[in-house]
Structure 1
């Protein structure tokens, strides 16, 4: 009797564990569920990236349009009086060239704006509020291979040119630490005036200073818009 009861209990336990109606929880998620979640995360990431890049492009286009509304993009004039002008697109400087008399060649290299305090005029007192834009300019004057190059380093203010240094150098550049002369302001006053007259005779004067400031304003704007455009193009580029 006892054995029959144990047998019945065993059969009932066996039938319970083998019942097809009990839920079975898998130990590993199906592959399609994992891929679905991964695809969702990837899609969301791409959407965020696209929205971020769209915002960058929109800001750039707005900034470019603002600059164009203020004044159109223009090419620099190719000449100023007897100087020819090389705009040097994509760079931070321009070059001017001219020939003077029968044996001189003059080259000017002009960089983009910097900020400083202009030189004080007689009786004037300068303050921090007097700061304004100026341009650095290097003037090279050639005669022949034997005579080397007479070089002037100048600051170009909105309506004047200020000589900072003048010295001689070889045609193939400077090596070591050559003597470059004393500060220009330490020279005899009459010699200083004569050197300004020397440049004046070659068309390097206050009128040129006014032109260069207008020229570099256009150059700065053009390069800024090109720079913004290149960034927008890079952000927009797809793989």
Structure 2
């Protein structure tokens, strides 16, 4: 038995330089190997076994993509780093929705009206002639979509405005009267806002302006969404980079 134990100890000391075959041949000379000898063989086999889970070198394509992603993430973070999103604008509270295409604003008018505004990130554009000294060519004006809900919480109908926010102005596209509890299957949602008489359009615009939904809000929203666009881009670059690095 002592001889078997000495054999096992020798096998362990030499495991880094011995092959599995040598260990097996050595133990075959003993018809009844002890438990310690069996453990020695098992340990040696276990330590020399290759694993598929070991990190594999990146392919040239993956390495190139990672390099481009790292450079772009660094550029976006240093050249035009995003600011912390504001939480208030005038009388409205601002709620960012990280990882989403939307942001939400909430406010009140008087003691009875609740105002909720939901705004998309940039979802369109229009081309306009360039102005100034270099008036040749065209400029691009980005577009945001807005939904403005005004409710009184007394069981009466709500007013909903579908608006377009341009960099310097706000436009109303639709005005809906909503009964959120008894909505018919196919309700008549009203005419196109631009088809209404000018006097009616003007009164609705004044109605919104009195509640802080105006051209100044539109300017703020474009600044906010430009900043959010950078935040979401940097997060996206980081997530893709992290996936490829694993």
TM-score, normalised relative to structure 1: 0.72
Q: Does 2:98 align with 1:89?
A: yes
Q: Taking structure 2 as the reference length, what is the TM-score of the superposition? A: 0.70
User: In the alignment, is the contact (CA less than 8 A) between 2:88 and 2:94 conserved in 1?
Assistant: yes
> In terms of Rg, which structure is larger?
1
Structure 1 unmatched runs, 5+? 1-41, 121-127
SS in 1 for 2:100: coil
- CA distance in 1 between counterparts of 2:99 and 2:71 reads 22
CA gap 1:118/1:163 in 2 versus in 1, 3 angstroms? farther
Query: How far is the alpha carbon of 1:72 from its aligned partner?
Result: 1.5
Equivalent residue for 1:125? Answer: none
| 1:72 equivalent in alignment to 2:81 | yes
**Rounded Cα–Cα distance in structure 1 between residues aligned with 2:229 and 2:182:** 29
Q: Decide whether aligned partners of structure 1 residues 72 and 184 sit closer, same or farther in structure 2, where only a CA change above 3 A counts.
A: same
Per-residue CA distance 1:90-126 (angstroms, 9 max, x = gap): 0001000011100000000000113333799xxxxxx
Q: Partners of 1:172 and 1:61 in 2: how far apart? A: 51
Q: Is the 8 A contact 2:127 2:138 kept in 1?
A: no
Please name the residue that 2:177 is paired with: 168
Contact 1:134–1:156 under 8 Å retained in 2: yes
Any idea what SS the aligned residue of 1:105 has?
Answer: strand
CA positional deviation for 1:57: 1.8
Shift of 1:55: 2.1
Q: C-alpha distance in 2, partners of 1:68/1:174?
A: 47
Q: Which runs of 5+ in 2 are unaligned?
A: 1-51, 130-136
Query: What's the C-alpha RMSD, in Å, of the aligned pairs?
Result: 2.6
Which sits farther off after the overlay, 89-98 or 143-152?
143-152
Deviation sequence 1:124-181 (CA, Å, 0-9, x none): xxxx935410110000001124212200000001111000000111235955221111
Is 1:55 aligned to residue 60 of structure 2? Answer: no
Residues 78/67 of structure 1: CA separation in 2 closer, same or farther (3 Å cut): same
Number of residue-to-residue matches in the alignment: 188
